[in-house]
Amino acid sequence: MFLIYLILTFFAVIAVVVFVVIDNTYGGKVNGPSKHVVFLGLDGLSSRNLHRAKTPNIDFIKNNGAWTSEVSIDPYSNGSGPNWVGVLSGHDSTSSNITDNSCKKPKYSTVMDQLMQVNKTVAVSTQWHDVKCFINKVTYYQDEKRAFTDIPRLINTVHAGYSFVFIHVDNLDFVGHRFSGGSNTYTKEVEKVDNDYVGPLLDYVTHTDGYTLIIASDHGHKLTSKDHSNDPVSLFMYGEGIQKGKIHPMKNVDIYNYLKQLLF
């Protein structure tokens, strides 16, 4: 009998040690507000898609910021509408009233509308013009060409000091629909996005007080066909108010809670 207790105690101690070690690997979190938040929304990039590319700027955030490659997308849709609304309003398609890409106002307000209500400033730069459907009025709005943003203009917008800048980049979704998420063309485009968008934004946030950069995605692309995938996506956060480390696996609607903690 004594031996059985001894063995059980031994395994219980091992279980506690394993739990503590695993839990300590998850140190990434939001610690407090940030004066300015720049949100880079990369349409059509799953963690599997990202993994195939060389992305030194995103790797920098992995090593110095908070991140996870285990963000689950909407339970019923891998469309852009329901997933961006989930991230920006905290409600997935079961409650947001947004189940596809048709242009409708979501049932719950997005973080942009909430900021405007308390007289904070919001800028939107978007290659997907239906983002307009999810917001009422913002301080600055710029439509960009599909899969092409005027980068100097974008950087000027970031420099202007808005409370929140939402940047939607469609390059990867555009290429994924033509060549698949497993194609070399797609992987090269991921590397280009890291260089052309993440690089300059990260550079600005690194050298300017009071700024936080967040990078998230709505869905991925299948490796062998030209469709969206349901695979998990990634989240990266770096700058003011961010404690570095890996973040627990989460749902995309939880990103909204991070935005609230940073912005209000």
By beta-carbon proximity to Zn ion, the closer residue of 173 and 194 is: 173
231 in contact with Zn ion (CB under 5 A): no
- Does 194 help bind Zn ion (rule: CB under 5 A)? no
Instruction: Give the nearest distance from C-beta 85 to Zn ion in angstroms.
Output: 15
Residue 173 binds Zn ion, judged by CB under 5 A:
yes
* Minimum distance from residue 218 beta carbon to Zn ion (Å): 9
- Residue 261 buriedness (CB in 10 A; 0-12 / 13-18 / 19+): middle
Residue 74 touches Zn ion, criterion: CB under 5 A: no
Which span sits near Zn ion by CB under 5 A: 50-58, 148-156, 172-180, 186-194?
Answer: 172-180
For residue 79, the minimal CB distance to Zn ion (Å) is: 8
**Radius of gyration of the chain, Cα coordinates, nearest whole angstrom:** 20
Measured between alpha carbons, how far is 26 from 100 in angstroms, rounded to an integer? 34
Which single residue brings its beta carbon nearest to Zn ion? 173
Residue placing its CB nearer to Zn ion in the complex, 74 or 173: 173
Query: With binding defined as CB under 5 A, does residue 92 bind Zn ion?
Result: no
Interaction between residue 189 and Zn ion (CB under 5 A): no
Specify the length of the chain in residues.
264
Q: Give the whole-angstrom CA distance, residue 190 versus residue 140.
A: 27
Q: Which CA distances in Å does 191 have to 208, 212, 250?
A: 25, 22, 25
3-state secondary structure of 151: helix
Q: What are the beta bridge partners of residue 126?
A: 143, 168
Q: Report the interface residues with Zn ion, using CB under 5 A.
A: 173
